[in-house]
Structure formats: C-alpha cells, structure tokens
Amino acid sequence: MGDIRVEKSHQLSIEAAKKALEPFAAELESKYGLKLSWNGARAELKGTGASGTVDVSTSKVVVSVKLGMLAKAAGIKAEKVQSSIDKRLSAALEPASGA
C-alpha cells in the first residue's frame, strides 16, 4: 500500500528529459521534502518518511516511491501522493514532448 509507481512516456533525449524534470524535482522537494540526487539517468529520492528512484530512458520516466512508517503515521495516503506525482510528472514532460 505504501509503494507508488508512476510511469510517463516521452520523446526526449535523456538529458532533455532530466532538464524538463527540474521543476518537478523542485516541487517534490517543496511539497514532500524529497530531494533528487542524480547519477546518470537515475536519481535517488530521499526524504523524511519516504525514499525511491526516478529512472529516465529515451522513451519514459519511471518514478518509484516507498512511503515509510513516518509518512504512514503522519496520515499521508499513497493514492494522494501517486495522483500528485502523476499530475506533476505530466506537467513537466508534456510541454517538452510537443517541441
């Protein structure tokens, strides 16, 4: 129940997709306290009560988040976080994929 996975297709290079994700990363940090640390095409997501990864390929971005006990205890619902990530990921990638 605490595992979240969001996958979005795109038509960008890996570097262009990573650049398009910068506002998404800033929102994850400000809203959920999750910081991205990039190593090539993969970013580690770390924050209080949650961790995960962002994987970028030439055709899709996959965000995986695992909510820990602290997040669950704070009443954070996986479905709400998943919906929020889905919306923000779409907003980050869609304007760029039409270019």
Share above pLDDT 70 across residues of the chain, in percent, rounded to a whole number? 94
pLDDT above 90 (res 71): no
* C-alpha–C-alpha distance, residues 88 and 28, integer Å: 9
pLDDT in tens, 7-48: 999 999 999 999 999 999 999 898 888 899 999 999 999 988
- The CA-atom distances, in angstroms, between 57 and each of 12, 14, 87 are 9, 6, 19
Owning domain of residue 24: 3-96
Q: What pLDDT band is residue 95 in, cutting at 50, 70 and 90?
A: low
* List of residues 6+ apart from 46 with CB closer than 8 A: 34, 35, 37
Give the CATH number of the domain where residue 90 resides: 3.30.310
Task: State the total domains in the chain.
Answer: 1
